[in-house]
Amino acid sequence: MENSNETSFNRFFLLSLADTPYLKAFSVLIFLIMYLLTLSVNSLLIIVVRINLRLHTPMYFFLSNLSIIDIGISTSIVPKLIIITITQDTSISRLDCASQMFFHSALGATECIILAVMAYDRYVAICKPLHYNTITNKRFCISMAAACWALGCINSSFHVPYIFHMSFCRSHHVNHFFCELPVFFPLSCQDTWLQEVSMYISACIIGLIAFILILFSYAYIISTILSIRSTKGRHKAFSTCASHLTVVSLYYGPLMFMYLRPHSRNSPSTERTVSIIYTVVTPMLNPLIYSVRNKDIKVTLRGSSKKMI
C-alpha cells in the first residue's frame, strides 16, 4: 500500500534559487534580466536575418534555427524557476516536469546537431567555395534543419518516458533547479543501470559524433586557411569561424561535463552550476557572440535604427 502511494505520487519538489529575501530578490532580478536579454537578442537576430536579403544564406538560416532553440531552452526553464523563487512553492506536477524535461532534452540535442551542421557549412564555404551554392542549396538546408529537429525530438521521446516509468520511492524532492534527466536517477528505488547506460550511449551518439564532425570540419578549415598566402585572406576566413568556435566551446564544455560523466562523480552543486551555464547563460550569449564582429548584422541594425528615428 505504501509503495503504491509512493509510485502514484504526482508532484515533485524543485530547488529555489535562494531562501533569504535579499538573495531571492537579487536572484530573481538577475535571472529575469538574463531571460529578457535572451528573448530580445535572439528575436532581434531572427528579425535582422529575415529583413536583410543579403543574410538569406545557409549560415544565417541555421543561425536563425539556433536562436529559436535558445529561446525555447531558456523559456522551458527560467519562467518556472523565477515563479518558484518568488512564491516559494517549489512543487511541479508530474506532467509539467515531464514536459520541461522533454523540451529541454529535445532542444539540447537539436542544438548539438545544428552546431555540427553549421561547422559543415563553414567547411564547404572555405574549403570548397566553388561548390558552395550547389552543395548547400535550399533543399539541403531545409532537409538538414528538419533532420536536426526530428532527431532531437526522437531522442527526448526515447528517454523521458523511461524516466517517468521508474518508481520514485526514495524521495520526490529533486536536488536541482529544474527537471533534467540525470538528476532523477538517484530518486528511484529500482535499478537504473539500463536507463543510465542508454542515456550515455545516446549522449555519445548525438553529442560526441556531432563534436567529432565539428573537429574534423575545423581541421580541414584550419588547414585550408593556413594555405592562403594573403594575411588579409587568412584573417577574413578565420573571422567567419571564430564566433562559431566560441559558441561550440561554451555549449559543448558544460554539456559533456553533465552528460558524459557518471552522475555519482558529480557533486549536486556542481551539476546545478553547470546546468545554469548551458541553460541560461549560453542562450543569452550566443547571438551576442555572432553579432559583435558581424558587419552585415551591424549594418542592418544601424539601417533599421535610422529608419525608426
Domain boundaries, the chain: 2-308
Please give the backbone phi and psi of residue 236, each rounded to the nearest 5 degrees, phi first: -65, -40
- The fold of the 2-308 domain, in CATH, is Rhopdopsin 7-helix transmembrane proteins (1.20.1070)
* Residue-level pLDDT at 253: 81
**Percentage of the chain exceeding pLDDT 90:** 48
End-to-end CA, the chain:
69
Sites in the chain below the pLDDT cut of 50: 1-8
SS (HEC) of 119-139:
HHHHHHHHHCHHHHHHHCCHH
* Residue-level pLDDT at 205: 86
Q: What one-character DSSP code corresponds to residue 277?
A: I
Q: 48: Cβ–Cβ under 8 A, 6 or more apart, which residues?
A: 55, 297, 300, 301, 304
Residues 121, 61 contacting (CB under 8 angstroms):
no
**For residue 13, what are the β-bridge partners?**
91, 173
* Residue-level pLDDT at 277: 87
- In this structure, what C-alpha cell is assigned to residue 48? 535582422
The 10s digit of each residue's pLDDT in 115-133 is: 999 999 999 999 998 999 9
Residues 170, 120 contacting (CB under 8 angstroms):
no
DSSP H helices, the chain, are 2-7, 21-51, 58-87, 94-127, 132-135, 138-164, 193-203, 209-226, 231-259, 268-276, 282-292, 295-308
* Residue-level pLDDT at 155: 92
